[in-house]
Structure 1
Amino acid sequence: MLVCWASIERHIIIFSQSIFQIRWKRIAFHYVPLSIAIFYTPTWCVAVIFIYNYVNDWNFYELLCTTPCFYGNKILANILLLIRVTYRSTRIRHNAERTKNNLIMTIQLLTISALFLVFRLPIAVTGLIQQFFDATFIIDIQFNIFFYLIYLIQLFLSLVCLVSLPELKKTTDMTIIRYWRHRNPISDVADFHVASFMPAINK
């Protein structure tokens, strides 16, 4: 859900940047949706899994269990964003700074989308082949390897975001540097005052 809202918010950032200059609109269109995206999913999962009582309706004629449809919703917003950027780029006068920012966001979008494709494409392709051609096509590899690839998305998503966001990488580097400087302070030698252990002689 968080990735889905990020795909939608890119439309606002690219085509309506002035919205975030107004405080109440920034809260309404940035902080509130992010908060909902972060807290809604755990709450919904807890309610559905632990509170709601249901009985599984097994369909033994299906080869694989299907996945919820909301897993694929984010791809629609991303494709629409690419089409909209391409269409608007041919009709408006190009601004060097704006074009650069749009290019950076497009690269970030493609990088995150590529991460999902790399780990989900094998199981999708083999699933289609099994549905239409051979029901046992490399089924052992699918169950033993491909089904576990999707769990790697969450592991690599933070790294991909870190690499594709230069500002985040810079902030992270500065935070790490400040942390190590605070943990291992180095003082100048001139700041130390060595006390003499010789007793004072009274005349």
Structure 2
Amino acid sequence: MPIFVIVIFSVALLLRVLYQKYRIRQQIQWRNYRKMAVQLLSISAIYIVFLFPWTILYTAYSAGLPSSIGADYYSVSSYLSYFVVMLTPFVCVMSLPELRKKCTNILLFQYRPTRVVHPETLTVTRLNPPRALSIMPNAQ
């Protein structure tokens, strides 16, 4: 049930925003809603891909399907259901274009700042004239 609720309400939120723009006769500028659309649809896709098969098998087993049918796939899909929790933060982060570019540069080792060494001349000027040092013998 939670899978259907998450997917349906994510798509409903996107459709609600689009309908409001249509209702007040404003043009839909996709660059303003791209982040939201990508994030909602990506999270919905993760839930459908990883949890939907497991949910269907679980429902079928509850309805009376023999447990020998699809038992191997059921155990694998129940293991894959944990990936939803692990992948959701990455989907949210990857919807940010600046951070996505930095992450891909770091992961692919493309971020190599060029360090150029230039010669530099230093001029030293004294503010005070040199003083003569006098060493006093130890008084005993």
**Distance in 2 between residues matched to 1:151 and 1:192, nearest whole Å:** 61
* C-alpha contact 1:111 1:164 (8 A) present in aligned 2: no
Q: Which amino acid aligns with 1:114?
A: A
The structure that has the greater radius of gyration is 2
The answer to whether structure 1 residue 107 and structure 2 residue 38 are counterparts is yes
2:22 aligns with: 90
Q: Unmatched 5+ residue regions in structure 2?
A: 123-140
Matched AA of 2:19: Y
Q: How many pairs are equivalent?
A: 119
Whole-Å Cα distance in 2 between the matches of residues 174 and 138 of structure 1?
42
Pick from 94, 116, 129 the counterpart of residue 163 of structure 1. 94
Per-residue CA distance 1:45-72 (angstroms, 9 max, x = gap): xxxxxxxxxxxxxxxxxxxxxxxx8777
Distance 1:192 1:141 in 2: 72
1:186 corresponding residue in structure 2: 115
Query: Relative contact order: is structure 1 or structure 2 higher (C-alpha 8 Å, sep ≥ 6)?
Result: 2
Question: In structure 2, how many angstroms separate the alpha carbons of the residues matched to 1:155 and 1:78?
Answer: 19
SS in 2 for 1:90: helix
Whether the aligned pair in 1 keeps the contact of 2:11 and 2:41 (CA below 8 Å) is: no
Q: 2:137 maps to what in 1?
A: none
> Who is 1:150 aligned against?
81
Consecutive unaligned residues of structure 1, counting only runs of 5 or more, are 1-68, 194-203
Q: Where in structure 2 are the equivalents of 1:43-122 lying within 5 Å?
A: 74-75=6-7, 77-95=9-27, 98-122=29-53
Quote the Cα distance in structure 2 between the aligned partners of 1:190 and 1:167: 35
State the secondary structure of the residue aligned to 1:105: helix
Aligned-residue offset at 1:110:
0.2
- Compute the TM-score of the two structures, normalised by the length of structure 1: 0.45
The one-letter code of the counterpart of 1:152 is F
Q: Deviations over 1:60-86 (max 9, x none)?
A: xxxxxxxxx877764464243133123
Correspondence for 1:124 among 50, 55, 59: 55
Distance 1:170 1:192, change over 3 A: farther
CA shift in 2, pair 1:108/1:71, >3 Å: closer
TM-score if structure 2 supplies the norm length? 0.61
SS at match of 1:190: coil
Q: How many percent identity over aligned positions?
A: 27
Q: CA separation in 1, counterparts of 2:95 and 2:49? A: 17
Higher helix share: 1
